[in-house]
């Protein structure tokens, strides 16, 4: 009988049709989908992890391994059937052609090709800025069946394809892409930049500590890896638990065999079905039940059917080796404990992770403050260098040359008037030493008169005649070294900033700056005082413009009024600034004094008394300056003021300027004293023995180390059991059916029953012996390892505790050093100023220059050391609480400490006594997404991002970009990414609550 006739006959038989339906049904069950098994693994793993959340000390707000949708490594496509990632073109060839004669798999790209390895929308929450001279390149996207990869363009709100396969010109709008609307830019340029050389980067300006912590929670690869490690431990545990569930026997299934003789007359169809279950028991026993059926249909002769079944069962119970719960449950017990260890390690990692993010952030701010201090030091050095040059050369602030008459039509421009003047009476042309080359060039263009040009040339020659004494050389050397040091510091800061980006999980080419509000209290000398000092110094150019021999009354009155404005500015901006800070200090003075030990308290009272004397003296000096100016103004009101009196008033103006400069310097000293006392360390007051005791009981890694000793001891018992003989009780049997047409007609007469003991003598146990002896050694090692771990914890805590005490004392010493350095600089600058007023020079002046150099260096070193000690103290405080295990991290990844909770709540770091920290906030639980309620397994299982409380890192919201895959991909497998705007707390939604049914 031919095969076609055979199946035609089969279709005409009712019982065969039923069998055919059964076969079709079975053919649809080759296995559940990959999506189903992934969800099953997720739910089982989350369940066992949740069981470990039984203690607040290792409570995990987030246990979901799915990254935040805003993360760089979030996968926006379907997890189970996502598109292929970008590949290396040369290596990709081997996927389609394994060798020259073996073709590869043809359907690699049935799900499409992704354009990028990272999430293409991760930067949607950031401001985007163009960067010049960098080519924006997006990698290959697709490959055809031959394996050739085609480049594809990535499009977003700023780019669009023009139909040629190449990106259109970037621009903020349609007009900008063609250059329309910008008269100054060339056609096709944006803000004067060729779009072909523009790369758009994400930007964060003034990143706060809150933003840094939040970004680290979203983008840190290390954090994600730690969460996945816990999940992998949970997967191992679910497998060990499954070993004690009722399980299917290996290789259950159904087989169909068709047989036919050579002439086609005798043919038949046979089916062999085997199925069964078994279960391992906690005491070591195991039972199993198996049903086997064999059915044969003959399609010749009488078309007979023959079927028979056999039901088998067995029970095996070890009595010696492999018996007992301590041995049988050893692996499951270890996996249960391993998951607990993993949860604790993740909780411990969250502490060290917060510590690392904050410590690095503070370190960057410390480096930044050092740069600011160096910049201020360079400004002060430049000022003192200019003073020293004038003093050492004994040259007046300006140079004059005779000029009979100013060329006809020449008028000194207003912008040159402060530095250039001509006296008609004396016939002198005066030029200030501060004039620049550009201003000299502007002056030369006023006239081609030979006498005018000769006077200018003679003045320039005199200006260049400056004697470089040892003091000037030393200051110049110091200035050059400071500038070189500043450049190195700035490079180091940028390198450290790039490393910090990597620590947060951000790309190093991201544009990032830090919020520097933390540094405000460490700005001991307000920039307004520096500006006042510069204004007073620059006033010398105004007063120097006066004719020393015969100053005109109009010029005197003009300079006097400018001096009056400067005095008012010093009083209203400088003195009022100091008085306001003084008032703020008085409000917290009692609190500051109460926190000092007797020695520091006595020192502070002495310094406060000295500050008050300096302040009172400075106020009196300023009042005297105002009084003298009033007399000056009254004298200048006389229109008939004689020449000799005008000369006296000119000298009075010069003296008032020098007195005013001294006042500004005194205000700086007073302000340093006030502000340095208002900076406080975060409180720390814990007994050393109490801290050690707490650490021994609460350090999570130490708990794991303690438990590891028990693991090693349990392993000894398991190894010892392998030395015993094998003695098993075996009970087994089977029940069969007679041959015929009734597959479930089991008969007692066709059954068998067997029972007995199986014994194996432990003769050759060398391997087991060695394993047992090794387990004893491992146990002793574990004991010693725990002792070492406990001693190491004690050493860490003791070292941290001592260091905190030392740093607290050093901090007070640095206060005194800054005060002393500020006073030293003020005294030295005053002596230099006195020398300038007295016209002194020589060796004594060179000593003053050296003293001035030392004062500048001491002030810079003291300022850098002061913030350095504060940062190191805070880092050590973080280490201390981390080392004793007293660092509870909330759901936002922040230490539940009043200082940091207040910093993140208000956005203002409190390092002074002017405000009170807030109460720590509570934790918020974040658990995995709900994986239930999906009817279609092949539908997109990626959840759109939910709205979360938190900060927004961008000042604008970008339009949603397209996430494309190559044309070869199936349309139904392209997964939408959804909106990624905003940046809030890391986490997910609701934990799965029930197991899915098998489809």
Q: Which band of pLDDT confidence, cut at 50, 70 and 90, is reported for residue 736?
A: confident
pLDDT attached to residue 131? 66
Interval 581-591 mean pLDDT: 87
d(CA 384, CA 391): 10
Instruction: Please report which helix (H) or strand (E) contains residue 713, including its range.
Output: helix 700-721
pLDDT attached to residue 78? 86
- Going by C-alpha positions, the residue among 67, 91, 87, 89 that lies closest to residue 79 is 67
Contact 141, 966 (CB under 8 A): yes
285-289, 666-670, 973-977: range with highest mean pLDDT: 285-289
Q: Taking each helix axis as running N to C, give the angle between helix 576-594 and helix 598-636, from 0 to 180 degrees, rounded to the nearest 10.
A: 170
- Is the pTM higher than 0.85? The answer reads no
pLDDT attached to residue 302? 64
Interval 561-570 mean pLDDT: 91
pLDDT attached to residue 396? 63
> 179 forms bridges with which residues in the sheet?
none
pLDDT attached to residue 197? 53
DSSP annotation of 169 reads P
Q: Which band of pLDDT confidence, cut at 50, 70 and 90, is reported for residue 934?
A: very low
Pair of tokens at residue 713:
């001891």
d(CA 506, CA 211): 12
pLDDT attached to residue 296? 75
Contact 652, 558 (CB under 8 A): no
Give the phi and the psi of residue 200 in degrees, each rounded to 5: -90, 125
Interval 153-174 mean pLDDT: 37
pLDDT attached to residue 955? 34
- Looking at every residue in the chain, the average pLDDT score rounds to 77
Interval 225-229 mean pLDDT: 95
Q: Which band of pLDDT confidence, cut at 50, 70 and 90, is reported for residue 263?
A: low
pLDDT attached to residue 79? 87
Is 222 a residue whose pLDDT tops 80? Answer: yes
Pair of tokens at residue 426:
């004396």
Q: Which band of pLDDT confidence, cut at 50, 70 and 90, is reported for residue 157?
A: very low
Q: How many other C-beta atoms are found inside a 10 Å radius of the C-beta of residue 442? A: 15
Report pLDDT digits (tens) over 358-394.
Answer: 999 999 999 999 999 898 888 878 877 776 665 555 4
Residue-wise DSSP of 528-559: HHHHHHHHHHHHHHHHTTS-SSS--HHHHHHH
C-alpha atoms less than 13 angstroms from C-alpha of 451 in its C-beta half-sphere: 11
> What is the distance between the terminal CA atoms of the chain, rounded to a whole angstrom?
40
Q: Which band of pLDDT confidence, cut at 50, 70 and 90, is reported for residue 498?
A: very high
Report pLDDT digits (tens) over 949-972.
Answer: 333 443 333 333 333 444 443 333
- Going by C-alpha positions, the residue among 92, 170, 100, 167 that lies closest to residue 131 is 170
Between 6-10, 285-289, 459-463, 513-517, the lowest mean confidence (pLDDT) is in: 6-10
Contact 893, 213 (CB under 8 A): yes
In this prediction, what percent of the chain has a pLDDT beyond 90?
Answer: 27
- Going by C-alpha positions, the residue among 229, 230, 210, 205 that lies closest to residue 985 is 210
């Amino acid at each position: 009988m031919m095969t076609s006739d055979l199946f035609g006959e089969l279709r005409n038989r009712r019982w065969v049709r039923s069998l055919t339906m059964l076969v079709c049904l079975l053919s649809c069950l080759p296995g559940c989908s990959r999506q189903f098994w992934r969800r099953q693994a997720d739910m089982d793993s989350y369940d066992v992890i949740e069981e470990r959340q039984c203690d607040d000390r290792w409570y995990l707000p987030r246990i979901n391994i799915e990254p935040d949708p805003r993360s760089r490594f979030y996968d926006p496509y379907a997890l189970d059937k996502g598109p292929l990632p970008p590949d290396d073109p040369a290596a990709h060839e081997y996927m389609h052609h394994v060798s020259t004669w073996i073709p590869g798999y043809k359907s690699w790209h049935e799900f499409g090709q992704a354009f990028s390895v990272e999430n293409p929308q991760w930067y949607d929450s950031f401001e985007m800025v163009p960067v010049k001279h960098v080519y924006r390149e997006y990698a290959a996207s697709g490959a055809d069946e031959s394996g050739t990869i085609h480049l594809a363009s990535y499009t977003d709100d700023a780019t669009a394809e023009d139909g040629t396969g190449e990106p259109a010109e970037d621009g903020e709008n349609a007009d900008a892409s063609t250059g329309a609307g910008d008269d100054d830019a060339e056609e096709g340029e944006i803000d004067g930049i060729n779009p072909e050389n523009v790369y758009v980067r994400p930007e964060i300006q003034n990143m706060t500590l809150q933003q840094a912590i939040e970004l680290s929670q979203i983008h840190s690869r290390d954090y994600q890896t730690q969460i996945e490690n816990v999940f992998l431990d949970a997967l191992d545990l679910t497998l060990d638990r499954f070993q004690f569930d009722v399980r299917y026997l290996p290789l259950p299934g159904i087989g169909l065999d068709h047989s036919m003789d050579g002439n086609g007359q005798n043919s038949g169809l046979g089916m062999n079905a085997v199925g069964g279950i078994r279960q391992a028991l906690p005491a070591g026993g195991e039972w199993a039940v198996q049903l086997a059926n064999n059915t044969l249909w003959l399609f010749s002769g009488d078309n007979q059917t023959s079927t028979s079944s056999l039901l088998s069962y067995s029970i095996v119970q070890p009595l010696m080796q492999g018996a007992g719960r301590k041995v049988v449950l050893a692996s499951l017990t270890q996996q249960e404990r391993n998951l607990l260890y993993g949860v604790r390690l993740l909780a411990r990692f969250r502490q060290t992770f917060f510590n690392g993010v904050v410590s690095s952030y503070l370190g960057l701010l410390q480096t930044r403050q050092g740069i600011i201090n160096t910049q201020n030091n360079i400004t002060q050095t430049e000022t003192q260098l200019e003073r020293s040059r004038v003093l050492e050369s004994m040259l007046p602030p300006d140079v004059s040359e005779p000029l009979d008459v100013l060329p006809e039509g020449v008028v000194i421009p207003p912008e040159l008037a402060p530095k250039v003047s001509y006296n008609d009476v004396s016939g002198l042309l005066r030029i200030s030493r501060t004039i620049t080359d550009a201003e000299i060039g502007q002056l030369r263009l006023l006239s081609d008169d030979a006498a005018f040009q000769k006077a200018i040339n003679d003045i320039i020659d005199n200006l260049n005649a400056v004697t470089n004494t040892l003091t000037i050389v030393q200051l110049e050397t110091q200035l050059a070294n400071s500038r070189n040091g500043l450049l190195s510091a700035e490079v180091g800061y940028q390198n450290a900033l790039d490393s910090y980006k990597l620590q947060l999980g951000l790309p190093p080419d991201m544009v990032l700056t830090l919020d520097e509000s933390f540094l405000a209290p460490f700005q001991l000398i307000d920039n307004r005082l520096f500006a006042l000092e510069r204004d007073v110094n620059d006033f010398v150019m105004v007063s120097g413009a006066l004719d020393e021999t015969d100053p005109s009354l109009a010029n005197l009155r003009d300079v006097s009024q400018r001096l009056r404005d400067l005095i008012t500015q010093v009083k209203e901006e400088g003195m009022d600034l100091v008085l306001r800070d003084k008032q703020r200090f008085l409000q917290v003075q009692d609190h500051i004094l109460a926190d000092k030990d007797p020695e520091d308290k006595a020192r502070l009272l002495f310094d406060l008394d000295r500050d008050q004397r300096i302040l009172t003296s400075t106020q009196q000096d300023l009042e005297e300056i105002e009084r003298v100016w009033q007399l000056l103004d009254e004298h200048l009101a006389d229109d008939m003021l004689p020449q000799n009196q005008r000369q006296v008033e000119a000298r009075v103006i010069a003296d008032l300027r020098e007195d005013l400069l001294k006042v500004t310097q005194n205000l700086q000293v007073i302000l340093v004293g006030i502000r340095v006392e208002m900076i406080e360390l975060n409180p720390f007051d814990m007994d050393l023995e109490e801290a050690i005791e707490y650490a021994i009981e609460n350090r999570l890694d130490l708990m794991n180390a303690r438990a590891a000793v028990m693991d090693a001891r349990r392993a000894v018992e398991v190894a010892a059991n392998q030395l015993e003989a094998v003695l098993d009780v075996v009970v087994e049997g089977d029940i069969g059916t007679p041959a015929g047409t009734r597959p479930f007609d089991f008969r007692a007469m066709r059954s068998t029953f067997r029972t007995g003991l199986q014994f194996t003598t432990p003769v050759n146990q060398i391997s087991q012996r060695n394993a047992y002896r090794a387990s004893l050694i491992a146990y002793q090692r574990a004991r010693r390892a725990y002792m070492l771990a406990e001693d190491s914890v004690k050493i860490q805590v003791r070292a941290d505790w001592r260091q905190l005490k030392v740093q607290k004392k050093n901090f007070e010493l640095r206060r005194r050093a800054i005060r002393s350095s500020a006073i030293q600089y003020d005294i030295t600058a005053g002596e230099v100023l006195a020398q300038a007023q007295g016209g002194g020079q020589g060796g004594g002046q060179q000593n003053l220059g050296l003293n001035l150099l030392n004062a500048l260096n001491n002030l810079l070193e003291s300022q850098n050391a002061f913030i350095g000690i504060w940062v190191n103290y805070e880092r050590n405080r973080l280490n201390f609480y981390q080392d004793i295990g007293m660092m509870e991290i909330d759901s936002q990844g922040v230490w539940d400490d009043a200082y940091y909770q207040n910093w993140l709540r208000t956005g203002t770091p409190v390092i002074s006594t002017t405000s009170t920290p807030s109460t720590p906030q509570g934790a918020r639980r974040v658990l995995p997404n709900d994986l239930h309620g999906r009817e279609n397994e092949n539908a997109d299982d990626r959840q759109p991002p939910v709205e979360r409380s938190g900060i927004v890192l961008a000042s604008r919201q970008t339009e949603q970009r397209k996430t494309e895959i190559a044309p070869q991909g199936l349309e139904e497998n392209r997964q939408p990414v959804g909106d990624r705007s905003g940046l809030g707390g890391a986490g997910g939604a609701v934990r799965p609550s029930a197991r899915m049914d098998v489809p």
